[in-house]
Amino acid sequence: MAGGEWPAFLCCSGLLYRCVGQSPWQGGSGNCSCQSRVFPLIFVARLSPLECCGPELKVESLSCARSPLVIVLLPLAIAASCASLPRPGSDANLISARQLSLRGADAIQRGQWTEARVLLAEAVELSPTDERMRSQYAETLWTLGHREQAVEQLESAARLSGDNPDLQVRLGEMYLEQGALSRAAEQAERALATDRRRAGAWALRGDVLHQQGMAEASLACYHRALSYQPHYPRVQLAIAEAYRQQSRHRRVLATLRNLADGYSDGRVPDEVRFREGVANKALGRYSAANEAFLAIVREGEPWPDVWYELAESRWRMGDPANARIAAESALALAPHHDASLRLLEQLARQPRSVAMWPPATDPH
């Protein structure tokens, strides 16, 4: 060819590429720039542009047939070039898998867990190396009660992610719920080895130590978790419960107040108010306890224990009539609620009086 220029046409996956460079046997570098890709060329060939597809290229002529390497290395060069291009089939699978994953997430939002399971199972089948889809599938299986399958899926997701600490922590939490303390502890340590500031890993370690009966060590881990994530409701409730078991009720109240202050919208969960009421009652602060329980009755959905604690608070405040009403409300929800039955027996020995709830007040 004139001027040392030599063309090569490659047709891979239905796409036509034209590469222009200099033959290495004519003093050129042997590199060919092809749509931002650089392929090392060890041959000089002119290929028929529209008569080939994929790795099967038809060679029309070779201008350097005198090189003994040409015939041997030409197929390797073509294969390497084509292998570097995306495969439409796999791309289509990935797109379909992502669409299924989005539909699965929507089903979860609507509470349709069985539908989500079917969609996410298909997504994982189409894209088995996507750890996010697999972890989402694992959570769906876990919610539906398929615990062993869920753990298997999350184990795979953790491996595919290169030991993502968030997935390790969640896997450890699943192990913990299954009673596998040693495996849960291992996941906590692996997550901390990756990131010592991972709040969830410290919380998981605290959970394991708590179940092993090591109260002070678990509290230390919980506080370490809070140092990295100050508003951490699950951990703060665990700390409050640990203090309650130690009868450190003032510590319980301090912990719960910090937790309540962390809700910027002011909507404190009923569980937090309930525990505040129980702590105040344990300290003999019956009026404060009464306000906490009444707040749940007025604004939330009280469960039997709320009604019972309210009943006992009213009784200790010298209001047996309203105490009786609250205890009967507990039994309306749970006819065999033992604490309420015992309280009613005590109240039956006292004279009845007219019941009247106090006016609503701000529990804060």
In this prediction, residue 179 carries a pLDDT of 95
The 3-state DSSP class for residue 22 equals strand
The CATH label, of 1.25.40.10, 1.10.1040.10, 3.40.50.720, 1.10.10.10, for the domain at 268-364 is: 1.25.40.10
pTM comes to 0.69
pLDDT digits (tens, 9 = 90+) for 205-234: 999 999 999 999 999 999 999 999 999 999
Please count the CA atoms within 13 angstroms of the CA of 327 that sit on its side-chain side.
23
* pLDDT exceeds cutoff 50 at 247: yes
The 3-state DSSP class for residue 361 equals coil
Span 280-294, average pLDDT: 96
In this prediction, residue 27 carries a pLDDT of 41
Distances (CA, A) of 12 to 32, 53, 176, 229: 16, 5, 52, 52
Residue 39 or residue 261, greater confidence? 261
CA–CA dist 147, 177 (Å, integer): 10
| pLDDT band at 353; cut points 50, 70, 90 | low
In this prediction, residue 31 carries a pLDDT of 41
* pLDDT exceeds cutoff 50 at 12: no
In this prediction, residue 350 carries a pLDDT of 75
* pLDDT exceeds cutoff 80 at 50: no
Q: Of 68-72, 217-221, 246-250, which range is least confident?
A: 68-72
Distances (CA, A) of 38 to 11, 18, 35, 260, 316: 16, 12, 8, 60, 85
Write out the residue limits of the CATH 1.25.40.10 domain(s) in the chain. Answer: 268-364
pLDDT digits (tens, 9 = 90+) for 16-31: 333 334 333 334 444 4
In this prediction, residue 35 carries a pLDDT of 39
CA–CA dist 226, 219 (Å, integer): 11
Q: Of 12-26, 166-180, 261-275, which range is least confident?
A: 12-26
